[in-house]
């Protein structure tokens, strides 16, 4: 195997597609969001698999059949006027510093193969406490994109996220911007302690406004309810154990 291999699974004819990434990260917000889109757009087609020796040396197993660790790109021909979608997700980030760069370059090669001009990196930004109504923070590779995003409620806060954006999401903007693509990062506020379907939903809602599509949120809302119950139970247990409890005492639960 080459260090990185892009496997063409199917060919589709897309109109002006945008590329949307959701790999594992804070609150799994990006991954939940992209997986939800793939589920809701029933006609989503797996078009590319990306294998890389910077992924863990591992196979997953489904009903006894193994699958080599990879990232997957699904194509969606949206019903409305908006652009078609290329949806990237997977179970792993790269396992090395250099690997993040090389993997992101491969993802951008896929995007450019489909004549993508706009890339979205989805993720979560940790707030350290449970959030009732999460906002969506933004960052862009290209200043000209700022106004449209602010108009639909994406927030740009000085110095946030502290430390910039790391991993594939950050590099999609850094390397994508250098390739001349419009690259945007949308980050849902999330505690940082729990998988957060609610934050994934607000991020998708921003995409809906921007890209003129519409999906159902019932399954995400159900999972958000479940996570709220989990959070409540943990807080209760902590109150019993410690006398006092605060949101900050929550440990991350994936």
Place of tokens 């889109």: 37
Task: State yes or no: residue 254 binds a copy of itself (CB under 8 A).
Answer: no
Task: State yes or no: residue 97 binds a copy of itself (CB under 8 A).
Answer: yes
Torsion of CA 141, 184, 88, 19, to 10 degrees: -90
Yes or no: say if 95 and 56 are a contact pair by the CB < 8 Å rule: yes
Which of 18, 121 has the CB closer to a copy of itself?
A: 121
CA separation for the pair 233, 237 (Å, rounded):
6
| β-strand partners of 76 | 85
Interface with a copy of itself in residues 141-180 (CB under 8 A): 141-143, 146, 156, 158-161, 163-168, 170-171, 173-175, 177-178
Task: State yes or no: residue 58 binds a copy of itself (CB under 8 A).
Answer: yes
Sole binder of a copy of itself in the list 56, 79, 128, 180 (CB under 8 A): 56
Query: Residue 75: left (phi > 0), alpha (psi -120 to 50), or beta?
Result: beta
Task: State yes or no: residue 194 binds a copy of itself (CB under 8 A).
Answer: no
Task: Tell me the number of residues near a copy of itself by CB under 8 A.
Answer: 54
CA separation for the pair 134, 143 (Å, rounded):
24
Least spacing, CB of residue 86 vs a copy of itself, in Å = 21
CA separation for the pair 167, 127 (Å, rounded):
19
Least spacing, CB of residue 36 vs a copy of itself, in Å = 23
Overall size of the chain counted in residues:
254
Task: State yes or no: residue 68 binds a copy of itself (CB under 8 A).
Answer: yes
Residue 237 — φ and ψ, nearest 5°? -60, -40
**Residue ranges that bind a copy of itself, judged by CB under 8 A:** 1, 3, 51, 53-54, 56-61, 63-69, 94-98, 100-102, 104-105, 138-143, 146, 156, 158-161, 163-168, 170-171, 173-175, 177-178, 185
């Amino acid at each position: 195997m080459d260090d990185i291999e892009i496997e063409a699974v199917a060919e589709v004819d897309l109109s002006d597609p945008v590329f949307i990434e959701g790999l594992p990260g804070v609150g799994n917000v990006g991954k939940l969001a992209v997986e939800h889109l793939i589920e809701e757009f029933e006609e989503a087609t797996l078009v590319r698999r990306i294998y890389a020796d910077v992924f863990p040396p591992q196979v997953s197993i489904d009903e006894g059949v193994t699958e080599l660790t990879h990232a997957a790109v699904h194509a969606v021909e949206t019903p409305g006027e908006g652009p078609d979608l290329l949806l990237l997700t997977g179970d792993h980030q790269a396992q090395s510093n250099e690997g993040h760069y090389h993997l992101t370059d491969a993802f951008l090669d896929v995007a450019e193969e489909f004549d993508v001009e706009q890339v979205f990196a989805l993720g979560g930004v940790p707030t350290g406490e449970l959030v009732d109504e999460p906002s969506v923070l933004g960052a862009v590779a290209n200043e000209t994109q700022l106004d449209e995003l602010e108009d639909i409620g994406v927030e740009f806060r000085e110095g946030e996220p502290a430390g910039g954006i790391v991993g594939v999401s950050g590099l999609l903007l850094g390397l994508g911007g250098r390739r001349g693509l419009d690259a945007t990062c949308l980050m849902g506020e999330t505690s940082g302690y729990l998988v957060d379907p609610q934050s994934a939903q607000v991020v998708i809602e921003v995409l809906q406004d921007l890209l003129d599509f519409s999906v159902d949120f019932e399954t995400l809302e159900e999972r958000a309810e479940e996570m709220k119950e989990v959070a409540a139970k943990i807080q209760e247990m902590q109150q019993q154990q410690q006398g006092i409890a605060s949101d900050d005492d929550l440990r991350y639960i994936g």
